[in-house]
Structure 1
Amino acid sequence: MKPSPRTILWTLTSAAVLALTPACGDDDPPESSCGEPLYGGDATDEAWRALVDAEGRPVDSTQAVTLSLPATGTTYATSDAPPRWTWTSPLASALPRPGASSPFTPPGARDAGRSVLARLGEWVLPTAHAHLPPFTGDIYYVKVSVPGRECPVEMLTSNLEWQLDAATWDLLKAHPAQDLRIQVVSAYLLQNRITEGPYQLATPVTFRIQGAP
């Protein structure tokens, strides 16, 4: 007896849902008492997970970024507007950025990779596929250590800058006349997998926020 179109559709839908269910659980970000960082540019939680998973690797500073702003010893006033921090990176110049023609980023690499079943599952249950396309490119994990605060202030971005928002700046200004330290971890990712790095500053950059006299 030939199955009806409704039976075929139900079978395909069930298979899609079963295929997606374990995958979504595996892609969840790692548990952290500090929570996720802020995100900038094209950065994603899965790119963050790749960097977190690599935190146990030996420290390598050979291709670390050069922090342009702030420089060590920079002092801000609490009355200053939220600053823009910038850096240069050997990864940005030596390796192709997303969209460029190269062996690292084949045409359509960011859009490829979702199977027919995954697409079908998204059509049936749109919320079942919540993650963004895999990230390819240079990525930067900026961490600001604040004295007396367990968790650093963190930003993950694909940009070569971080324009601080007012809320983040207010948080940092709540610790005047103390040394704050910036560490930047960088890496090149291909489809959420690290192919270069991670690298980090040999010595974190120290700056201070000075309150009103």
Structure 2
Amino acid sequence: MVQRHSRNPWRLLLVEDDRELAGMLCGLLRDEGYAVDVATDGQRCLHLGLSRQYDVLVVDRHLPPLDGLDLLGRLRSRAVRTPVLLLTAMGTVHDRADGLDAGTDDYLVKPFELDELSARLRALCRRALDVNDVLRIGSGHLHVGRREVGLASDEQIALAAREFALLWALASRPEAVPSRAELRRLVFQEAPAASIVDTYGYCLRRKLGRRVVRTVRGPGYRLGAL
């Protein structure tokens, strides 16, 4: 089981004026292990965003009385750098550009798949990690700032950036079996072929042992043992 030690669990602010959708997403996110606060309007979000510390914000674009983009502009102008995932029904290139210019870190168009929401939030949380954060994996651990893996034998093994990112993606959901295509999107966004996952899986096995990354016939990979 993966544990986050320096700040546990992830703190998330969900801003959604559709109360039914907000309730459904809140339940899902809490099941995923997040500590969730909910705001149903932009003014409440602004207050919470300025007065509390969060790891990630999930913000609907159309909010009363503040529009989501206006809200983001106010938060960024007051030095709030928390990663933001913007939810919107507006998915044109122009709309996405407006969101990015306003300070959002990622963009998800409604309707969306819950698995994609979860994956995008994990990616944003990884970016927000403090360099001193440590993830425990059984008797081993991952050290974020040094991109090192600590083994039960007390040996410390440094990994390349992509090797570490792939191991982290698997460690974030140790019971899941992500496909090669999903891992390529999460870790190697610009790579055209899912086979790049096989290459870096081989690199991890070579450095950390054959059991660290398990190949699941058909679906893809899962975390093994350090």
Normalising by structure 2, we get a TM-score of 0.23
Q: Which has the higher contact order (CA 8 A, sep 6+)?
A: 1
Q: Report the TM-score, using the length of structure 1 for normalisation.
A: 0.24
In terms of Rg, which structure is larger? 1
Say which structure is richer in helix.
2
